[in-house]
Amino acid sequence: MSTVAVVLAAEPGTGFEGSKYLTNVHGAPMLETIVSAVAGWPVDDVVVVLGADSDEIVERADFATATIIIDPGWSEGEASPIRAAIDLITRDRSVDLIVLVRGDQPGVEDSVAEALIDMARSSDAEAVTPKYRYATGWPVVIGPELWDRFMSIEGNLDVHDVIATHANVREDVWIDHLEPKIIRVDDDLPVGR
C-alpha cells in the first residue's frame, strides 16, 4: 500500500505581485519550497493541484518529480481541487492514504507529517489531524473511507468539518507548538522571508 501527498495550490491570493505561490519564502518560490519539503516526508508520491495562475506557476517553479494537476474547476470552490486529486489518485488501487497539504503553509515540520502518517498506519482511523496546542490544523491524513464523501461535495468546504461530520474514527496527534502560519495575504509572509 502507498501514501500520496496532495499539495493544494489552486486558490488565488490577495495583495501579492503575481501568484502568491511564487512569492519568495526562504530563497525560493513558496510552493516550490513546500513541495520540496513534502517530497522528504514518508510518502510515495506527491501531487500538486493548481488552479489560479497555473501557467505562470508551472513556468516558474520547479516541482522535481511531483505530478501536476491543473484543475479547470478551481474557481467553483475548495472542493474541486480535492476532487481532482482524489479522482487521479484512486485510479491507483495501491494507494491507501492521502495526506492533504496546504500549498500556502510553509514551515510544517517533517516530524509532524511523520507522526500523522504513523498514526494513520497504526490505527483504524479514517482521518488523522494535528492538534497544535488545542487547535486543529494542517496537514491532514484521510483514508479511503472518506474519499467518496469528498468526491460528492461541491463548492466551498472546510476539510476539518467534513472529517468531523463523516469520519467514524478520527485520531488527533498533539503537537506542542503553534501551527505554522497560512499565507492568505501578503501581510502573512514571514519577516525577512
For residue 191, the model assigns a pLDDT of 65
Tens of pLDDT, residues 40-89: 999 999 999 999 999 999 999 999 999 999 999 999 999 999 999 999 99
Domains of the chain: 2-180 (3.90.550.10)
Q: With pLDDT > 70 as the criterion, what percentage of the chain qualifies? A: 98
Cell of 13: 491570493
Tens of pLDDT, residues 92-151: 889 999 999 999 999 999 999 999 999 999 999 999 999 999 899 999 999 999 999 999
Tens of pLDDT, residues 116-127: 999 999 999 999
Q: Where are the beta strands (DSSP E) in 30-164?
A: 45-50, 67-70, 95-102, 127-132, 135-136, 140-142
Main-chain dihedrals φ then ψ at residue 145, nearest 5 degrees: -60, -25
> pTM, whole model, 2 decimals?
0.95
Average pLDDT in the chain? 93
CB-based contact 171:163 (threshold 8 Å): no
